Each structure stands twice: as C-alpha cells, then as structure tokens.
Structure 1
Amino acid sequence: MSDLGKDSESIAKAAPLLRKAPHHIAKPLSDFKAASHDLSALGALGALMSATDDVREGMDTLSKLAKDLVGEWHGEAKLMTDLSEAFDVLDLMIEAATRGKKQG
C-alpha cells in the first residue's frame, strides 16, 4: 500500500469519528443551556450586580458557539471523506502510470 493509500485509509477512519463527536456533547450542551435559565445560585448578589444577565448572555453565546462548532465538525468530516476518495483515485492513477512505464 502506498503512502497515499495509508493516508486515505487513516482519513477515512477519522471522518466518521468526527461526525460522531457532536453526539458526545449533545447532553452536556443541553444541560448547559438549561442551566443558563436558572441562575439562582448567584442569589441576590448576582441580581444586585446585574451579573445574572451577563452570565446568562455569556452562557447563551457559548451555547451558540458550540452549535457552530458542530457544524464545522460536519463540514470537516465531509471534506475528509472527499479528500480520502481523491487520494484513492490519485493512488490508482499513479499505480496505473507506474505499470504503464514498466510495460513500455
């Protein structure tokens, strides 16, 4: 197996793992979003200092960023799959060209 074949195989194995990554953060992210609506732990001090709104806004921003990150992971996984397939085709073309030179 050529280096391209090894790279292709490695990338092809990694892409599905990257696609599965969001499943590992779904529950913690849901819990985090829910917690942003119950900031009673800050108590009266949080309300007096307007910290509750700031913390809630920060938690909402982090939740949105995590959602965007999941989209990025899916895009990267697709790119990795496409790259793996391109490496496979290139590897076959190089192999065919090598055989052609040996025969000619």
Structure 2
Amino acid sequence: MSDLKKQATSMHKAAAGLRAVGHRTAKPLQEFKAQSHDLSALGALGSLLSATSEIREGMTTLTKLTRQLEEEWEAEAKLIGEVSDAFDLLDVLIAAKAQAEKG
C-alpha cells in the first residue's frame, strides 16, 4: 500500500470519527439542556444566592457552545474527507503513470 493510500485511509477513519461525535453527544446534550430548566437540586440555597438564573444561563451557554463545536467538527470531517478523496485519486493517477511508463 502506498504512503498516499495509507494517509487517505487514516484520514477517512478520522473523518468518520468526527462525524460520529454529534451522534454520541446528542442524548447527553439534550439531558443536560433539560436539567437547566429543573434546578430544584439547588433548593433554597440556589434561591438565596440568586444563583439559579446564572447557573441556567451558564448551562444554556455550554449547550450552545457544544452545538457550535459539533458544527465545526462536521466541517472539519467534510474537509478531511475531501482531502482523503484527493489522496486516493492522486494515488491512482501516480500508479497509472507508473504503469504507462513501464509498458
């Protein structure tokens, strides 16, 4: 296997891994967001410290940041996949040229 083919295979696996992140984080993220609306675990302490709204706001911000990261990872996965495809094509072209030069 040529170096380009190995690199393309490695990049393809990396891209697939990045694409899977959103599937793995969807349920935990949904549960986390749901908990931001039910902060009863803070009880009276949360009310006394006026922390409930700040905690809810922080959790909402974390949820948004996680979604933005997932979007960025998806874009990275797409780019890595395209580079992997280009390496595959380049490998085929190099092999074809070498074959043509032999015979």
Q: Distance in 2 between matches of 1:47 and 1:94?
A: 69
Q: Deviations over 1:50-93 (max 9, x none)?
A: 11111111100000011111111211111111011111122223
Residue 9 of structure 2 aligns to a residue whose secondary structure is helix
Number of residue equivalences: 103
Q: Distance in 2 between matches of 1:28 and 1:88?
A: 36
Query: Identity over aligned residues, as a percent?
Result: 56
Q: Deviations over 1:24-74 (max 9, x none)?
A: 111111110000011111112211211111111110000001111111121
Partner of 1:65: 65
Partner of 2:18: 18
Q: Is there any run of 5+ residues in structure 1 with no aligned partner, and where?
A: none
Q: Distance in 2 between matches of 1:48 and 1:42?
A: 10
Give the aligned CA root-mean-square deviation in angstroms: 1.6
Superposed, which structure 2 residues align to 1:70-81 within 5 Å? 70-81=70-81
TM-score, normalised to structure 1's length? 0.87
Partner of 1:82: 82
Spell out structure 1 runs of 4+ moving beyond 6 A: none
